[in-house]
Amino acid sequence: MKIINLTTNSRVRVINNRTDVWNVLRTVVDSETQEDAFYICDIGEVVRKHKIWKILMPRVVPHYAVKCNDNRAILEVLAALGTGFDCASKAEINKVLSLGVDSDRIIFANPAKPASHIRHAALTGVNTMTFDNETELHKIKNFFPEAKLVVRIRCDAKVAQCQLGMKFGCDATTEAPYLLSVARDLGLDVVGVSFHVGSGCGEPDAFRRAIASSRTVFDYAATLGYNFNLLDIGGGYPGRREDTLEPIAKIINDSLDKYFPDPHVRVIAEPGRYYVTSAYTLACNIHSIRTIKTEDPITKEITSHYMYYINDGVYGSFNCILYDHQVVIPQPFKNCDGLELHSSSIWGPTCDGLDQVIEECMLPELKVGEWLIFEDMGAYTLPVASPFNGFPVPKVHIIADENTWDLLKGILPLREDHFIFGQTPANIRASLQNDDNSWIFPKLPITVSISK
Ligand code: PLP
């Protein structure tokens, strides 16, 4: 196994092609010295997603939505793969520019921006930005009159994990024409249309409606003398391992062919969760258990409900349950084939009653020190997590298989400080333990046995 330094604080472990995330988890869990919750981030997943995107939607240039997961290694890899970036604030702009990305690869896709952030965009040459209201046009006129503007219209998917239309997007037939005439009177340069059908879109046809509406706005703009050349089809693409991009991609491609056959119209998108959801796997340790016994008043049968307390909760990674309406699925790390299942609930580590991860699920009986694994945890988790009550946000340990490493080393400015270990689990474990990133701690036994 090699360790690559991407930057001082984001390191990638290169694993052999036959090793997968679950094998890496096993090496850590089997060591019985790891106690804190941790993530494994598989960069190969991000690369795989990018390849699929390029094959399925070659005309659409992805501008990764930084808000979704701003891990520096993820941003560096996406920058190297050639994506653009959707930034919503001054800090996100700075983060992307600090990677050496040109400002013209960034879209400032927040339709309601503080004035200081608009001034910052002007200062750093981030010229393209969205708007959906008249006040924004006047602010932009004051602080960045040369900006290239994109009018964001509203078109909500009937089914979405997180709707955005109640906050952003003007009506394409009533408000957009008015806003365009105000922009023209102010002498502003509007260059295109954007929309966001809703995050985690469950109704692919929403893209067809939104692209058709965008066409009407393009046509109206032409009557005012504008010559639009940018269509931004936003985010909304699902990203779990079980999801597929095909149905949405087909509708987008067909709609672009129908409504925007002119290849001079540049088409971009702002995918967030698509790129990162499946790349992150979270491992949580069970540190406490309460067993609630209930007697049936009639049959007198006693049933048990197990309350498992784990070391990450809704104030940490599982904030995604509250803010992103995610459904998380616990998988016991140990092999549970043939074990009896019991009514169980899963709770976070803080002293708040709200800190419940899963209200009711069926699990085999688990012990203190055992692990629960949650896949598909890369989107809208860590950027929002806090160390409330003194419980740390889990560390992220990044891996890439050798094929991914071969690709990345050709396109990333990497210093290959590599340690080469053999590829046996014992050597992987040794390398993790020697890592100055404090992968394994404390070096104390953490399993306890309870005599019944
Ligand atoms: N673009 C904008 C303006 C957003 O607000 C969001 C998410 O809220 C995204 C893109 C990313 O959306 P998703 O993660 O659904 O692709």
What value of ipTM does the predicted structure carry? 0.99
- The rounded Å distance from CA 409 to ligand 1 centre is 30
pLDDT-derived band at 10, boundaries 50, 70, 90: low
Alpha-carbon span 285 to 263, nearest angstrom:
52
Q: Whose CA is nearest to atom 6 of ligand 1?
A: 235
pLDDT-derived band at 450, boundaries 50, 70, 90: very low
Q: Whose CA is nearest to atom 14 of ligand 1?
A: 272
Give the pLDDT confidence of 81-121 residue by residue, as tens digits.
999 999 999 999 999 999 889 999 999 999 999 999 999 99
pLDDT-derived band at 297, boundaries 50, 70, 90: very high
- The rounded Å distance from CA 312 to ligand 1 centre is 25
If we measure between CA atoms, which residue out of 322, 341, 326, 435 comes closest to residue 374? 326
Percent of the chain with pLDDT over 70: 88
The reported pLDDT for the residue numbered 3 is 55
pLDDT-derived band at 16, boundaries 50, 70, 90: confident
Alpha-carbon span 25 to 397, nearest angstrom:
11
pLDDT-derived band at 52, boundaries 50, 70, 90: very high
Please list every protein residue whose CB sits less than 6 Å from any atom of ligand 1.
65, 68, 86, 109, 164, 196, 199-200, 234-237, 270-274
Instruction: List, by residue number, the catalytic residues.
Output: 351
Relative orientation angle of helices 115-124 and 90-97, to the nearest 10 degrees: 20
- The rounded Å distance from CA 384 to ligand 1 centre is 15
Provide mean pLDDT across the span 431-439. 43
Is residue 60 pLDDT above 50, yes or no?
A: yes
Percent of the chain with pLDDT over 90: 78
Q: Whose CA is nearest to atom 3 of ligand 1?
A: 109
The reported pLDDT for the residue numbered 428 is 47
pLDDT-derived band at 452, boundaries 50, 70, 90: very low
Per the structure block, which two tokens stand in for 329? 């699925």
What size, in residues, is the chain?
452
| Mean predicted lDDT score pLDDT of the chain | 89
Give the pLDDT confidence of 130-172 residue by residue, as tens digits.
999 999 999 999 999 999 999 999 999 999 999 999 999 999 9
Using the structure block, give the residue that is written with the tokens 């239309």.
165
Q: Domains in the chain, start-ordered, CATH in brackets?
A: 2-42+280-434 (2.40.37.10), 44-271 (3.20.20.10)
